[in-house]
Structures are given as C-alpha cells and as structure tokens.
Amino acid sequence: MKLYINYPFNMWSFSGRIAAKMNNKHVDVECVSEEMKQSKEHKAINLTMKYPFLVTPEGNLNESYAIAKYFAHGHATLLGSSNEERAKVDQWCMWGYTTFVPPMFKTAMAIHGWAEVAQKDYTEAQNAVKAHAKDLNANLKGKKWIVGDNVTLADLVLATQFIIPMQTLLDGGFRKAMPDFNAWFERVISLPEFVAVVGHIKACQKGIKPQTKAEPKKEVKKAVAAPKPKADDGEDAPAKKPKSALETLPPTEFDLFNFKTFMVNVPDKKGEGIDELKKLMDKEGFSIWFLHYEMYKDEGTVLFKTENMCKGFLQRFDDFRKWCLARHLVLGTEDKQEIMGVWLWRGVGIPQEAHDHPQFEYYKVRQMDIFNNAEDDKLIRAFWGATYEDTVMGMPVLSINWHK
C-alpha cells in the first residue's frame, strides 16, 4: 500500500498512519511533488486530487477518516469492542471533524498568519476550542480513553487534531484546570506508535499571540477637538505604554532593516557580509547569540520532522522580525540531525519576546563576541554564509533557514 500526502507535516494523515502501525499494516508514505500532481498517471488514479490519498490492492481511497478506518479494520479494539462502542467511535471522530476542526483551524490560521482573521472571529473560535476541550474533559472524567477501556481510533483522531491548539493556544494554566483532558492527551501522544509517526509533542506553557485583523473604526465627527487628557497634577497624561520593552532602548545609528537587505543579497556572506556587520553594528544596542536545540529522546532522526521543528520555531517568532536577523541550520545526516542558529537582535540581553516563546526554553543559549573571540567570528561566518555544499561544526548542511 502507498499513502500519498501533499506536504511533509500532513496532520490529516497521522491518525491513519498511527492506526496502521498499531495494526501491523505496512504502508509506504510519499510526499507528492507538483510535477507528480500534474501528471496524467497520478490524476488518473486520484480522481478527487485530495490528500491524503491511499492506493491499496482493493482500490484507492481519499478522505482521512476513511483511510484511518481502513487501516484500523481487523484490529481487536481500535474501531470499538461492541456495536455501541463502534458507534461511539464514529460519533467522536465525526464530532472532531465537523465540530472541533472548523474553529481550531481558524485559530491556527490567525496564529500562524496563514490568512487574515478578524479579531472578533478569532475570539469566537478560541472560545469554541476551549469549550470543546472542556467537553472532552467532562467525557473523560474517571476514564483513560474516550470510548471504552482501550485506545480507539477516536483517541488517535482527536489527539492529532488537538496538536496545534496544545502547542499554541491551550496554555499551562488552562490545562491545569482540565486534568482529565490533559492526562488523556499526554497518554495518547506517548504511545510508541504515535511517537513513531508524529514525533514528540510539547504543549505550550504560554499561548501565542494571534495575527488578527483589527475591526474598522467607525468615523466619529466632532465639532470641537477633545482636550488632551491630564494627570491629577495638571501635567499631560503619560504616553501610551510601548508594545515591546525594546522600543524604550536608546536610539541607535545601526540601520537593521538596510543591513538585512544587504546581508541576504550580498554574494560573499562569509567575508564581505560579516565584515560589514562588524563595521556597522552598534555593540551597545545589539547583541549576537548562538542557539542550539536540545533534542528529546528520538527527535532529530527524521529529516522532514526536524525541518518542521526548525521552521515552526522561527514561525512563532514572526512578531520579532523587526528586531532581529537570524539564520538557523539543520546539520547532520539523514538519521541524526541538530538544529542550531546564530541570531543578531536588539538589546544586549535576552528579550522578553524570547522568554514568551513556548519553545525557547528547549534551546541552549549563549552570547557570542565576534569582535574579540576568533572562534565566534569563525562561527557566525560559517552559519550566515553556509551553503548546501558546506560542512559546519563537522556536520553537513541539510537545511538553511533565514529569519529576517
């Protein structure tokens, strides 16, 4: 059997692939290229052009739930151990796809910046996601699994659907108030078959701020301009508090925006690029840092998963772009990788934006001195100037990612 997916981290394929492993069914997974999608041969077998798409000896299947049920068929408990349990497995899976996924996906679009979402719509979706988590918590009262006494497809489907909210929205405080739901999620994602397909999932301690579209303000006509608010002593009211503490730092002559443009486009990044940085950088207003992700257990053994972790980490730093320039590399071999990066950011300490990042705590961090430390000078040149033909810190370069 062969399962086709349209991008590496296709969460809709997860429950089926996990079920296949639990049911000892072998399946080859292939991420289709654009060329394959457009080929006559592929269009001839994938009539709906939806993914995941499964090719089997008996025929071909679309729709993730149908594929998951196909893989679970024949297992003693995955589809339920009685007629009632089988119906309830279907009930909860369809609840996930039809009731939970729509608001979940809307929050994901706003948090990751995939599409414009109005603040009002995001708030409604966020409240719905939390309400649905509470529903599951109530159903799980005194139980280990959603249906019956064994893990079923309902657990696999819903746990995979909750991955994004657990990493971005449902913070530690919320989960503490939902102990049965939280224990269930940790139980499911710790299953060996789940880890083998998805990798290790770490829930966030603090939620990520969404990128929402503000509601248009209504125009209000005033005959006379309103007086400027006064403090109690008659002085002008204090200015609005800045969004970031970095905005209160002393002015700097280092034009980060123009330097980014130069650095990304200069052909000789290792030489001319870093030389220009050392000439222009305001050492009192900026600092350079080396970040190294601490792999957990079996992490760093599947390249596309490691690349997804790296890109996901940078994506959650989107609001910090105006203050930094960074380059992260995935280094190593096909079965053993490391994630490392060199950052230039505003300020001389670790900013609050980094502490607020839900994955920053899993990185080893140290400040670099490229002006007085020859090894650090060599390191930033290696990272910011790396190509796919290079070896950095004794390891081949597998993936290059700018954050600018």
pLDDT at 242 over 70: no
Angle between helices 83-95 and 153-161 (to 10 degrees): 10
Per-residue pLDDT tens for 376-395? 999 999 999 999 999 999 99
pLDDT at 220 over 50: no
Task: For residue 396, say if its preceding peptide bond is cis, omega within 30 degrees of 0.
Answer: no
Which of 61, 94, 403 lies closest to 260, judged by CA?
403
pLDDT at 360 over 50: yes
The percentage of the chain sitting over the pLDDT mark of 70, rounded to a whole number, equals: 93
Give the position of tokens 């659907």.
161
Contact 197, 18 (CB under 8 A): yes
Same domain, 348 and 294: yes
Can you give the CATH number for the domain in which 288 is found? 3.30.70.1010
pLDDT at 226 over 70: no
Same domain, 285 and 387: yes
The average confidence (pLDDT) of the chain is: 90
pLDDT at 218 over 60: no
CB within 8 A of 130, min separation 6: which ones?
A: 169, 170, 174
Per-residue pLDDT tens for 258-315? 999 999 899 999 999 999 999 999 999 999 999 999 988 788 999 988 998 899 899 8
* Least reliable range by pLDDT among 175-184, 237-246, 277-286: 237-246
Contact 328, 384 (CB under 8 A): no
Q: Report the pLDDT value the prediction gives residue 100, as an integer from 0 to 100.
A: 96
Q: 198, 223, 238 — which closes off a domain? A: 198
User: Which pTM was predicted?
Assistant: 0.55
- Residue 277 is assigned to a structural domain of this protein: yes
Q: Report the pLDDT value the prediction gives residue 229, as an integer from 0 to 100.
A: 53
Same domain, 90 and 185: yes
CB within 8 A of 24, min separation 6: which ones?
A: none
| Mean pLDDT for the stretch of residues 74-82 | 94
Same domain, 275 and 148: no
- Domain that includes residue 31, residue range: 2-72
Can you give the CATH number for the domain in which 67 is found? 3.40.30.10
Give dist(CA 146, CA 144) in Å, integer: 7
340: its two tokens: 């490392």
Q: Give residue 319's pLDDT band: very low, low, confident or very high (50, 70, 90).
A: confident
304: its two tokens: 């596309």
Handedness of CA 387, 389, 395, 398 (dihedral sign): positive
- Residue 159 is assigned to a structural domain of this protein: yes
Beta strands in 354-404 (DSSP E): 363-368, 391-392, 395-403
